[in-house]
Amino acid sequence: MAAATLSAKRRSLDRQLGAILVTPSRCDLTRELQAKISRARDQLLVFLAYPGKVEPTNNGSERLLRPAVVQRKVTNGYRAMWAAEGEAAIRTVVDTARLSGANPLGSILKTIGA
């Protein structure tokens, strides 16, 4: 989409969001949700400010977490916290390397100083 179209859509969504936030309610759950949305308001539409760089959904993050979830389910978790932290650290280095176009193995070796 063109920058002007994205800007117009952002303004429209921001106005609609504002209307939702000022709508009075007697329901505690609704007021709690309005408060949460209000606190995160500047983050909700950030994908429109950076088209193509920020995804509108968290599907990418969910896909990156999937191997760790499968590992935990298959092995029934870790017995030691250091093992879980080590796995998380390695996955972080590998995923960061992939995103930046670097060699994952080279990044691990560089990280551990080998």
Q: 45 and 63 share a domain?
A: no
Residues 11, 61: contact at Cβ < 8 Å? no
pLDDT, tens digit, 9 for 90 and up, residues 63-81:
878 888 888 888 888 888 8
For position 15, what pLDDT does the model report?
92
Percent of the chain's residues with pLDDT above 90: 24
Q: 40 and 63 share a domain?
A: no
For position 25, what pLDDT does the model report?
94
Q: 70 and 32 share a domain?
A: no
For position 114, what pLDDT does the model report?
61
> Does the pLDDT value for residue 24 go beyond 90?
yes
Assess if residue 10 is contained within a domain: yes
pLDDT, tens digit, 9 for 90 and up, residues 95-114:
888 888 899 888 888 888 86
Assess if residue 9 is contained within a domain: yes
Q: What is the DSSP string of 90-108?
A: HHHHHHHHHHHT--HHHHH
Q: 73 and 43 share a domain?
A: no
**Domain coverage including residue 23:** 3-49
